[in-house]
Amino acid sequence: MNKIRLFLLITLCVSVLGGYGLRKEKKVDESLFLNEVAPNVEFTGKGGIPPHYSSKEGIVAFNTYDVAPSIRGYAGPIKVLLALNREGRITGIRILEHKETPNYVHQMLKPEYLRQFLGKSINDPFEIDKDIDGISRATVSVKALAETVRKSSREIASRVMGIEVRGEEARETHNLKWILYLVFFGFSFGAYLITKKSERYLRVRDAVLVISILLVGLWLSSPFSILHVFNIVLMRFSTDMLWFVIVASTLLSVIVAGRFYCGWLCPFGAVSEFIGRMPFKKWDIPAHVDDKWRNLKYILLGLITVVVVISGRVGFGNYETYVTLFSFHGNVFTWVLVVIGILANLRVERFWCRYLCPVAALTGVFSRKDQGYVSRYDCPMGNKPVPLISECIRCNRCYRKS
């Protein structure tokens, strides 16, 4: 394990250094799209405070990032080119740049979705599910887009166009999600501690796994993903509380309880485990072959770290089955992986977690030793006696207090 830790650490350092040296952030030239947001309007050059383009027709165009740079989606700001008319109504909109995960935001990028902003007044509330359509599984990004448009257009209207702004600030509507996640995390961690004390409570874990599929997977659609980690490495933080809670709680849990996240909170792990419990005879994989293949996930994590950090494109690291499954969106390659990742559990317990999952590799590398885990015949990870702690998902079936 020490060799693997060293391999990943060197890979990360080399990629970060290489990334800063080789990566060139391409800046989108917004002036190329002025004609798209305001056809047949002739603009002056960009200028003023906040920076904007003006025209004799009274239409003002601007890049929202110049006006409200602090609003962030899941992976940084969403930069939008907007055009406002004399009455303070939006007459043109185009998303210039974003770093959100395409699986979640593909609907938000469609022209038919963006069309709902046209004709809106700066005094409108721009509230999700009120006057702006929400998109389940992309609430953080959609909220950031609406807030960016509302804040920047009001700022330009009052400071550049001299229009009085009367609209109220939008109400915070998504607090419930991070609070629910935190409550679920607390409940699961409490159950984890109780099952360490006595086998009698092991059934509680099944209830936690069912809730993780329903809550983390299907409703929040926010499983912890290696993309969170890449966004942190690339300094693309979100201002969303749910993002912060998921990242902070998972990373803290790794320090305290190793792969607790994999064994209790990961919805794809839960699906895999339930399928693995179906009465199909499991393949008897020799220990030395199994051990060798388990290293594959570390190699894959190292490879995608190099590719993502050097290219700066988080989407290149997106081969995670849970992102595709719970966003209900992916390409042929990722859907094939989902099908393989699910069906393989019939023959090999927790196939994806054992051999391929990048989150398993990351949490495994940072798992601290605990002699209490001895493994037993029904280990959901198919561990042999005296398992490596990096392969234990802390289901606590075999935990022995010393």
Residues that bind ligand SF4 (CB under 6 A): 373, 375-376, 379-381, 383, 387, 392-399
∠ at Cα 231 (71, 72), nearest 5°? 5
**Cβ neighbours of residue 41 under 8 Å, at least 6 residues apart?**
34, 35, 55, 57, 59, 83
Residue 126 vs 355, nearer CB to ligand SF4: 355
Give me the least distance between CB of 378 and ligand SF4, in Å please: 7
Residue 131 vs 370, nearer CB to ligand SF4: 370
**Cβ neighbours of residue 212 under 8 Å, at least 6 residues apart?**
184, 188, 264, 265, 266, 267, 270
Give me the least distance between CB of 194 and ligand SF4, in Å please: 14
Give me the least distance between CB of 259 and ligand SF4, in Å please: 8
Give me the least distance between CB of 386 and ligand SF4, in Å please: 9
Q: Residue 337 to residues 3, 137, 244, 263, 341: CA-CA distances in angstroms?
A: 28, 20, 28, 21, 6
Residue 216 vs 395, nearer CB to ligand SF4: 395
Whether residue 376 contacts residue 386, with contact meaning beta carbons closer than 8 Å, is answered with no
Give me the least distance between CB of 33 and ligand SF4, in Å please: 53
Residue 59 vs 395, nearer CB to ligand SF4: 395
Give me the least distance between CB of 398 and ligand SF4, in Å please: 3
**Cβ neighbours of residue 183 under 8 Å, at least 6 residues apart?**
none
Rounded Cα distance, 63 and 41, in Å: 17
Give me the least distance between CB of 144 and ligand SF4, in Å please: 38
Give me the least distance between CB of 391 and ligand SF4, in Å please: 7
Residue 16 vs 389, nearer CB to ligand SF4: 389
For the chain, the residue count is 402
According to DSSP, residue 319 is labeled -
Residue 298 vs 373, nearer CB to ligand SF4: 373
Whether residue 38 contacts residue 59, with contact meaning beta carbons closer than 8 Å, is answered with yes
Closest of 317, 210, 225, 344 to residue 267, by C-alpha: 210
Rounded Cα distance, 15 and 304, in Å: 10
How do the residues of the chain divide into helix, strand and coil, expressed in percent and rounded to 5?
55, 10, 40
Work out the number of other CB atoms within 10 angstroms of the CB of residue 50. 15
Q: Report the first-to-last Cα separation within the chain, whole angstroms.
A: 24
